Amino acid sequence: MTKWLINGLILALLLLLIGCVSRTYRVPDRPEKAEPEPVTILVVIGKNIEEINLQSDNAVLLNAGKSTKLPTRSVIEVNDGYIIVNGKHYTTPVYFQSPNKMRINGKEYFGSILVQDRFIINILPVEEYLKGVLSSEVAENWPVEALKAQAVVSRTFAYRKILNNKDTLYDVDDTTMYQKFDYSEINSRINSAILDTNGIIILYQNEPIEAFFHSNSGGVTENCRDIFQKDLPYLRSIPDPYSSKNQDTFWTFSMTGKEIKAALKGIIMQEYESLVLRDIRIYKKTGSRRAGEFLLIFERNQRQVIKGNTFRLAVDPKSLKSLLIHNIHRARAKGGYIFTFSGRGYGHGVGLSQFGAKRMAEQGFSYRDIIAYYFRGTRLGNY
């Protein structure tokens, strides 16, 4: 083998080695961190429905794995186990979806609509749900820290209900029995309060709390156990001076004995229904001095004790505004008596006082301060 051939082979080998060393290998791209799926909530917006008027652009019906485009306006007949749309039957459950707003029986909604068992259920992210809650529960011109406090409390309330009702058809309805929900009054200040507290909830022992709230405590909040039969350490009665000087703190309400008996039909004993209601007294008070039980006195000295909250909800909670009652005045009326209740506050009194939160915010407290005041021993965090 000649020198030139040997040198050629060496050079070729060197070039091969250099090529191997200098080759670059592309490191596979790391997968982008996936955004967590938004927590969704199922809100009943209609019960025992027989007909749905749906209006939306580009809406589709989803059923049994198939998608059907709908016209801009549809009248849907709802029956047990099926619906009829444009003459065609679909077995429930049925979903309606649109990239735009959907108007259901005159109200606008976002997200998906589920129809099942004569229920209409709005399925949407919790953060979107809060827009409809806050616009219904508080005024948009309230101090921003009060709006933030309501956002955190309402978000926590929603999370707790989602956990409690995970095996049921829905989580909440759209009434004040849960949280008032109406998507028609969205505004930028409320949206900002929700965004600024995004995902923040109230925790106790690393679980979302039962975040009860009411309009106005009247100067003292209520023990949870005296209303909801739950003894929760973060929902104990506390003095609430921030709620004691509101224009709506004091109230009076009058109702005849006949009207009260009619409201309590099914609650008072049947043999008392034909008797004149002669007197109403507070039989037992709670730790916050609210009416824990009422004593109803009928003709022939027949008596029945009724729990305070049962009485209030049956009679009219919007007029008999709270159980923090100062006086019950009785006056004779044609065929019986008329009763005038005088008291202060509005609502059950458990947890956050909305007008108390407003007053605290006006005095410079942050939403964190407000929540710490009304929910003792809790912390804020994400779940």
| 21 is a domain residue | no
Residues 122, 132, single domain; the answer is: no
pLDDT reading at 82 higher than 50: yes
* Domain boundary pick from 77, 93, 126: 126
* Eight-class DSSP state of 241: G
The residue-averaged pLDDT of 254-265 equals: 96
Q: Work out the pLDDT band at 33, boundaries 50, 70, 90.
A: very low
pLDDT at 229: 87
Residues 262, 335, single domain; the answer is: yes
Q: Work out the pLDDT band at 18, boundaries 50, 70, 90.
A: very low
| 224 is a domain residue | no
* Eight-class DSSP state of 220: B
| 87 is a domain residue | yes
pLDDT reading at 139 higher than 70: yes
| 15 is a domain residue | no
Task: Report the residue count for the chain.
Answer: 383
Crossing angle of helices 188-196 and 144-164, in 10° steps, is 60
- Locate tokens 């029995």: which residue? 177
pTM: predicted TM-score of the whole model, two decimal places: 0.86
pLDDT at 239: 97
Residues 89, 143, single domain; the answer is: no
Residue 206: domain span: 128-212+352-381
| 227 is a domain residue | no
DSSP β-ladder status, 352-353 and 213-214: parallel
pLDDT at 20: 38
The residue-averaged pLDDT of 39-66 equals: 93
pLDDT at 334: 87
Count CB-CB contacts under 10 A for residue 351: 26
Q: Work out the pLDDT band at 35, boundaries 50, 70, 90.
A: low
* Eight-class DSSP state of 33: P
CA distances from 319 to 8, 23, 179, 250, 345 (A): 105, 83, 19, 12, 11
What is the widest separation between alpha-carbon atoms in the chain?
A: 136
Residues 76, 45, single domain; the answer is: yes
Residues 336, 369, single domain; the answer is: no
CA distances from 239 to 42, 95, 289, 382 (A): 36, 48, 12, 29
| Distance of alpha carbon 98 from alpha carbon 347, whole angstroms | 38
In total, how many domains does the chain have? 3
* Domain boundary pick from 68, 102, 126: 126
Q: What percent of the chain has pLDDT over 90?
A: 80
Residues 257, 334, single domain; the answer is: yes
pLDDT at 245: 78
Q: Work out the pLDDT band at 185, boundaries 50, 70, 90.
A: low
* Domain boundary pick from 126, 144, 163: 126
| 217 is a domain residue | no
Residue 196 backbone class (left: φ over 0; alpha: ψ -120 to 50; beta: rest): alpha
| Distance of alpha carbon 182 from alpha carbon 173, whole angstroms | 11
Residues 335, 265, single domain; the answer is: yes
Residues 322, 282, single domain; the answer is: yes
Asked if residue 277 lies in contact with residue 217, where contact means CB atoms within 8 angstroms, the answer is no
| 220 is a domain residue | no
pLDDT at 269: 93
Residues 264, 310, single domain; the answer is: yes
The residue-averaged pLDDT of 103-114 equals: 92
Residues 112, 132, single domain; the answer is: no
| 207 is a domain residue | yes
Residues 109, 148, single domain; the answer is: no
Residues 325, 367, single domain; the answer is: no
